[in-house]
Homo-oligomer: A and B are copies of this chain.
Amino acid sequence: MKNFKILSIILLHVYGLAYAQEKVKSNYDYVNPFIGTEKMGHTYPGATTPFGMVQLSPETNQVPMFKENGQYNAKTYEYCAGYQYGDSTIFGFSHTHMSGTGHSDLGDFLIMPTIGKLDLEPGTADKPHSGYHSRFKHSSEKAQPGYYKVHLEDYNIKAELSASDRVGYHKYTFPETDSAHIILDLISNIYNYDDKNVWTFVRVENDSTVTGYRQTQGWGKTRYVYFAMKFSKPFSSYGHKRYEDVSYNGFYRKFDQEHNFPEMAGKKIRAYFNFDTKKGEAIEIKFALSSVSTEGALLNLATEIPEWNFKQVRREAKAKWEKELNKINISTINEDQKEIFYTAFYHTMLSPVLYEDVDGKYRGLDQNIHTSEGFTNYTVFSLWDTYRALHPLFNLMHPQRNNDMVKSMLAHYEQSVHGMLPIWSHYANENWCMIGYHAVSVLADTYIKGNTDVELDQLIKASTSTSKVKYFDGLGEYMERGYVPEDKSGASVSKTLEYAYNDWCIAQLANAAGEKELEKEYLQRAKYYQNVFDKESNYMRPKLSSGEWRKEFDPLDTHGQGFIEGNAWNYGLYVPHNIPKMIEMMGGKDAFSDHLDKIFETPIEDKYIEKNEDITRDGIIGNYVHGNEPGHHIPYLYNWTNHPEKTQERVRMICETMYTTDRDGLCGNDDAGQMSAWYVFSSLGFYPVLPGSTDYALGSPLVKEAEITFENGKTLKIVAKKQSEKRVHVKKVTLNGIDIKGHSISHFDLINGGELIFEMK
């Protein structure tokens, strides 16, 4: 890399600035936040810092979660991240977004600048002239990590966004007008429905400071977000409208509450602030969040962004991103691969998100205010997705942060009235989304890789407590019978397989502690996957509480067949902790690699696709669904057969076909970074098939070279010798000159640094 940079600097002088700038494109420059914003990637293009609490991003459309007939509105799903590239209008910029999730929430505190006659109705995307939303052209857009820009055509306003960790920074450049407005829409929600807002509260503290909060229900059942906003210029007047019917409003009726009245409260409120502007005058807004209080938000605001300096905030956000992105420097066969790689790497750092104020205070699961002692608190743990490769990637690249995340999970456990680690930690809520108790995987993986200073017995206590909550999702049945009966709890096979893996993770912790009895108990539970294997059909298959297999069984169907987001063909291969045994059960290595071949080669019928919103044609190779997680380890399973070269082929094929530089360059939801983490690992040549162990399965690197700087200060250079598009097979792998036997490599060997050479053939 160094030589390349020196060359660039020389070129700078020879060919002049314009050309040279292209040549010295930094890792930062390669990130394209628009990747995944079209179709089902569910990413957002807005401004945020690495793992930042604020995700300030445009919203292009809001499809109510329910149609007038009360039916779920499937189109809502497209707007998980608030933005769809195909849309041509923007109706505002809100402060919280999830990246690449398969369900959504948030979109808190939508800000929209407008001019002219005040209109507080957002209007709809399909009617360009209705409401306050504005048309825009993609040509006016720019999105970089920590920065977003767009021109709002209906109002001739240039909108720019940046952010610090806890504060969004808006800059709106207005035309000359005596009727500029900043709308603060507190009704707007991602995944909106009529009773989602439980309460909102706004105080106009003075002529340029506003505070408040919002409580929502639903996926996050009791979710609070507090804010403090400051304008760079005093507003000349302000007001709000409350939209819900109110039985009784007390003596507030004395006042003209709608105009210049500094208190607003209710379920459905839209506020506005009026200004006069000169031509080209910018109104800037600092908008801080807190989970604790408006006092906390004000503290965050004052601490993180004391000045009015958009450029400075943008520069600092960029510096934070550069620090993270420069931990891995790669060279690739083509430029697109760099764009894909750094965008993927970027996408792995959008969640979990920081969830505490600058003074360490945060809202806990018990709705009490806690202080993080000795750690930084995080939320948004989409663990069914992220335990697979995202947290392992953190254990490689951000071990200190991952330790904080482990501690955040333990705090969640301490606050849980169920005595459970998070399933899906959601802004001081447990939303119970998806299955398994995969926090134990993260705990085990982090401990085994030496990345946590938490006492082992604490990890074990939290893990075993979690694994014994009988009323949780068939777990009582699982403990009693050794499998989840399909007639008692749906997706029973998926649950059985994942509980078994989770229990293996707990056994690893027990083993580390020398607790033999406990290890034995959990190793026993870890075998329960065998109880849902049907020898006759050769599939993992739903079993009833009677002990009999359920008669109806279609191994290709993903619904009502004992699986979730997968079918018996692919999800049925989920025994990461004992792959040899699984292979043996399924007829041995050759039969198993045949099964794998069929997965990749048998086209799936349309009828199996249209039922499931999570599967799109783009994310499917035969019957392999890369857009969903349960298959992510499958391409690597050939390593355990006589055909490891097929792992190399499949991985390279997936890297090259399932990820592109297009806006729809993700073949499914990025799933809070898991899809991107798969890509980062796989393009470097290895993958954590079994989190909780120190082994990575070797694949076939996509990069030509990579230099990874670890937090321990050591660097690992990865070289794919003779790398080319055609050379996907690996002849030999050496680490620091020593041949690697087999098809795996140890975590500790990697972080010890040196040179990992793949000889391609």
- Listed in ascending order, the chain A residues whose CB lies under 8 Å from chain B are 65-66, 191, 193-196, 198-199, 201, 203-205, 211, 213, 215, 217-222, 245-252, 254-256, 260-263, 265-266, 293-295, 366-369, 417-418, 424, 431-433, 471-473
Q: Per a CB cutoff under 8 Å, which of B191, B251, B262 touches A431?
A: B251
Residues of B within 8 A of A295 (CB): 366, 368-369
* 16 intermolecular pairs with C-beta atoms under 8 Å apart: A66-B247, A195-B246, A196-B248, A199-B199, A199-B217, A217-B266, A218-B248, A218-B250, A221-B249, A221-B252, A222-B265, A251-B433, A254-B432, A255-B432, A262-B418, A295-B369
- Closest-CB distance, A424 to chain B (whole angstroms): 8
Complex contact B248–A222 (CB within 8 A): no
A145–B265 CA distance with the chains assembled, in angstroms: 38
- Closest-CB distance, A197 to chain B (whole angstroms): 10
Complex contact A221–B369 (CB within 8 A): no
Q: Assuming A247-B193, A471-B261, is B66 touching A367 (CB within 8 A)?
A: no
A196–B66 CA distance with the chains assembled, in angstroms: 25
- Closest-CB distance, A688 to chain B (whole angstroms): 27
Complex contact B417–A263 (CB within 8 A): yes
Complex contact A432–B252 (CB within 8 A): yes
Q: Assuming A260-B471, A294-B368, A295-B368, is B222 touching A199 (CB within 8 A)?
A: yes
Complex contact A369–B293 (CB within 8 A): yes
Known: A250-B433, A256-B471. 17 other contacts (CB 8 A): A66-B248, A193-B248, A194-B247, A195-B245, A196-B247, A198-B198, A199-B217, A201-B367, A204-B417, A205-B417, A218-B247, A221-B250, A262-B417, A293-B369, A294-B366, A294-B368, A295-B369
A222–B265 CA distance with the chains assembled, in angstroms: 8
Residues of B within 8 A of A417 (CB): 203-205, 262-263
A201–B66 CA distance with the chains assembled, in angstroms: 25
Complex contact A250–B432 (CB within 8 A): yes
Residues of B within 8 A of A220 (CB): 250
Q: Per a CB cutoff under 8 Å, which of B199, B218, B471 touches A198?
A: B199
Complex contact B254–A473 (CB within 8 A): yes
Complex contact A199–B219 (CB within 8 A): no
Q: Per a CB cutoff under 8 Å, which of B201, B211, B294, B368 touches A293?
A: B368
Complex contact A367–B293 (CB within 8 A): yes
Residues of B within 8 A of A263 (CB): 221, 417-418
Complex contact B201–A251 (CB within 8 A): no
Residues of B within 8 A of A265 (CB): 217, 221-222
Residues of B within 8 A of A473 (CB): 254
Q: Assuming A250-B220, A417-B204, is B199 touching A471 (CB within 8 A)?
A: no
- Closest-CB distance, A301 to chain B (whole angstroms): 14
- Closest-CB distance, A251 to chain B (whole angstroms): 4
Residues of B within 8 A of A251 (CB): 219, 424, 431-433
Residues of B within 8 A of A266 (CB): 217
Complex contact B222–A201 (CB within 8 A): yes
Complex contact B368–A247 (CB within 8 A): no
- Closest-CB distance, A217 to chain B (whole angstroms): 8
- Closest-CB distance, A255 to chain B (whole angstroms): 7
Complex contact B367–A255 (CB within 8 A): no
A221–B263 CA distance with the chains assembled, in angstroms: 10
A256–B470 CA distance with the chains assembled, in angstroms: 12
A193–B294 CA distance with the chains assembled, in angstroms: 29
Complex contact B471–A255 (CB within 8 A): yes
Complex contact A367–B222 (CB within 8 A): no
Q: Assuming A201-B222, A417-B262, A471-B256, is B294 touching A367 (CB within 8 A)?
A: yes
- Closest-CB distance, A207 to chain B (whole angstroms): 12
- Closest-CB distance, A239 to chain B (whole angstroms): 12
- Closest-CB distance, A106 to chain B (whole angstroms): 14
A368–B201 CA distance with the chains assembled, in angstroms: 12
A251–B471 CA distance with the chains assembled, in angstroms: 14
A556–B596 CA distance with the chains assembled, in angstroms: 95
A140–B294 CA distance with the chains assembled, in angstroms: 50
Residues of B within 8 A of A255 (CB): 432, 471-472
